[in-house]
Structure 1
Amino acid sequence: MVSSKVKAIMLCLSLGLLIDVSQSHAETFQTSAPVVLVEDVSVGRILMQKNADRPIAPASMTKIMTAYVIFDLLDQGKMRLDQLITVNPSVWKRWHGKQGGATMFLRVGETVSVENLLNGMLTVSGNDATYALASSIPGGLDAFIALMNKEARSIGLTDSYFSSPNGWSNNDTTRTTARDLVLLASTTIKRFPQFYVKFYHRKEFLWGKSPTGELIRQHNKNPLFGRIDHADGLKTGFTTKAGYCFTGSATKNNHRIIMVIAGLPSARVRADEAIRLMQTALDTVP
């Protein structure tokens, strides 16, 4: 005879929702987000999952993979933080102005260091910075996208495919899952801790010039910053196809929580859910 407890677990699994937390936190771990994965990666404990293996369009969360490739090139000595890259006209034409989405406010012909382009990509989600980086390697953009998919396979992202470095291009077919994104974030932090601290912790970035000649100040859209103690990454995203999504991380007592939420209807709902779920997860840490 199947016990009532086993039946309940089977029902949760059939609904794509598994919660592994104490009864006191079970209610607060409920969410309207279509896709969720919350994991204490320090001990391999999944705290909540909901459709964690459903294919999703990651939007600008794609830039976590782009950053991973750049970090690997830096680690191999094939790229340097002080290396200068000139913004070519095609990158500027496609990614400046309103049609370019989030921007670092690069100018055509401007020469910018890899370090500042990484800040522009990861702090303010600049699509112009992302394409300037991806187009700069030998073989250009196609070679970079091939590297993204090669590294994804090496990491073990079995359900991911990348067709652009930003998840926002025309006819973009990039896809991934919440489970793959947690693995990607965790691997980034473990393999490149120095780059993670340097580039994912920044709360704001100044670049470009306003009409009055002042540097343009932009703030990181990470909804955990300023709301969750020891939050330190990673990346928000939005497209009409993807909805509002977020991969985030925070630590407590040597435990690291990584979460992915996707498919939310607004930036406000994304922020509220991210803060609530991360705080609930941190409250489970002894």
Structure 2
Amino acid sequence: MRQFRISRAAAAFALLFNVLALATLAPGSSARAQGFQTIAPTAILIDAESEAVLFEKNADEPVAPASMAKTMTVEVLFNEIKNGRISMDTEFTISENAWRKGGAGSGGSAMFAKVNSSVRVEDLLRGIIVQSGNDAAIAVAEGIAGTEDNFARMMNERAKQIGMTNSTFRNATGYGHPEQKVTVRDLAKLALHIIETYPDLYKIFGEREFTWNKIRQQNRNPLLTMEIGADGLKTGNIDESGYGLIGSAVQNGQRLIVVVNGLKTAKDRANESRKLLEWGFRAFESRQLFSEGQVIGEVQVFGGDRRSLPLVAKKPVRVLVNRGESERVSARIVYTGPLKAPVKKGAEVAKLRVDRGDMQALEMPLYANEDVQVGTLSQRALDGLLEMSTGWVRNAFSSLVDRL
């Protein structure tokens, strides 16, 4: 990977402008809590609009998701509905397997659907989201993919497409499995994806109760009753995971997403989630670094009719900083190099990573702002010589900087 550090002045704080070429990308240091402490073993708080990370603690540690895995089950179903393969009126059968493994007699959360009954997808969705029904989740998995194992493969494929690079699913319910692990960072990505991709269907996450088979159940998300603007998403708890929650709330037009896991009690889960959200709304303000379409920086291109390529983002680049304070914010462009011609305008070729202090606050894709055609034979030969000679210089300079 190549990195180029970039920066610019922005409002009341400065970005140091250093252009630094690195031959390899070293793993980022663990982000430290800034201005907030939580008893949650793993946690993350992000701003939905900018995708800026406001707080993180062990956010990339693999953990058991418990029923938070059902959020991925719901995403697969939402995707099937969006693409017209399933409708809200489609009916799935509650098989004996779904009834025995996830129904009333299983000891876990259930929709209490009757064995061999046919249930509309719209009702199964509420059975999963509101009631956390394992029977409903298994019925959806079997209805879409034939078996829960096949459905888990679909879950993993969708997770990759969403960008959940450190999560693996093995079932639709969240039941304990030694290979079923997620990270709270990935769960936050999943929540943001669902909110942005399925705004109408997402509203189900905010429903406070659902009655099925004459059994009325309350939504298990404690944030929904706290009058803090919460409208989703999902709780989870098994012995391997402790108490966890994916939550989202909106105040004054700003949406925050919180994920916690590993807490000892349901009360701790509710309190820590609420405190993180309230702190995030209170403690930060948005600062714009780059406007939409503004050239953020350039990367080198080899073998092309030009040696540098300007990069832009598809939306304004904003980062949240501590309210009323000046903070040092640094940014860098990261890409896999050398970038070889041809490159088409609009192609995603790099990422912008923004650090606030010692915490990675934001990562977003960058796109080529111009076409680069394949260069002449002499241009390509000269680029090859330059790479051979200057590559050694970059390696040496990178090592020196890493030690400073």
Identify whether the pair has TM-score above 0.5, normalized to the shorter chain: yes
For the 8 Å contact 1:137–1:143, the answer to whether it is kept is no
For the 8 Å contact 2:102–2:110, the answer to whether it is kept is yes
Q: Does 1:99 align with 2:110?
A: no
Which secondary structure state, in structure 2, belongs to the residue aligned with residue 225 of structure 1? Answer: helix
Separation in 2 of the partners of 1:111 and 1:150?
28
What residue in structure 2 maps to residue 36 of structure 1? 43
Which secondary structure state, in structure 2, belongs to the residue aligned with residue 69 of structure 1? Answer: helix
What residue in structure 1 maps to residue 160 of structure 2? 153
Separation in 2 of the partners of 1:140 and 1:168?
16
What residue in structure 2 maps to residue 259 of structure 1? 258
| 1:100-156 deviation line (CA, Å, top 9, x unaligned) | 400111111111100000000000100011001111124332321111011111111
User: With structure 1 as the length reference, what TM-score do the two structures score?
Assistant: 0.86
For the 8 Å contact 1:234–1:248, the answer to whether it is kept is yes
Which secondary structure state, in structure 1, belongs to the residue aligned with residue 33 of structure 2? Answer: strand
Q: Unpaired segments of 5 or more residues in structure 1? A: 1-12, 20-25, 209-214
Shift in Å at residue 57 of structure 1?
0.6
What residue in structure 2 maps to residue 217 of structure 1? 216
Separation in 1 of the partners of 2:159 and 2:250?
25
For the 8 Å contact 1:96–1:105, the answer to whether it is kept is yes
Q: Which amino acid aligns with 2:32?
A: L
Q: Does 1:56 align with 2:63?
A: yes
Shift in Å at residue 279 of structure 1?
1.4
| 1:27-49 deviation line (CA, Å, top 9, x unaligned) | xx211111010111212221110
What residue in structure 2 maps to residue 17 of structure 1? 32
What residue in structure 1 maps to residue 305 of structure 2? none
Shift in Å at residue 16 of structure 1?
4.8
Q: Which amino acid aligns with 2:94?
A: V
| 1:186-206 deviation line (CA, Å, top 9, x unaligned) | 011111111101x21110000
Which secondary structure state, in structure 2, belongs to the residue aligned with residue 52 of structure 1? Answer: coil
Separation in 2 of the partners of 1:172 and 1:98?
24
Which secondary structure state, in structure 2, belongs to the residue aligned with residue 224 of structure 1? Answer: helix
Q: Which amino acid aligns with 1:60?
A: S
Larger helix proportion of the pair: 1
For the 8 Å contact 1:100–1:128, the answer to whether it is kept is no
For the 8 Å contact 2:246–2:257, the answer to whether it is kept is yes
Q: Which has the higher contact order (CA 8 A, sep 6+)?
A: 1
What residue in structure 1 maps to residue 187 of structure 2? 181
Superposition pairs for residues 1-286 of structure 1, below 5 Å?
16-19=31-34, 26=35, 29-168=36-175, 171=177, 173-197=179-203, 199-208=204-213, 215-284=214-283
For the 8 Å contact 2:111–2:131, the answer to whether it is kept is yes
Q: Which consecutive aligned stretches of 4+ in structure 1 deviate over 6 angstroms post-superposition?
A: none
For the 8 Å contact 1:60–1:166, the answer to whether it is kept is yes
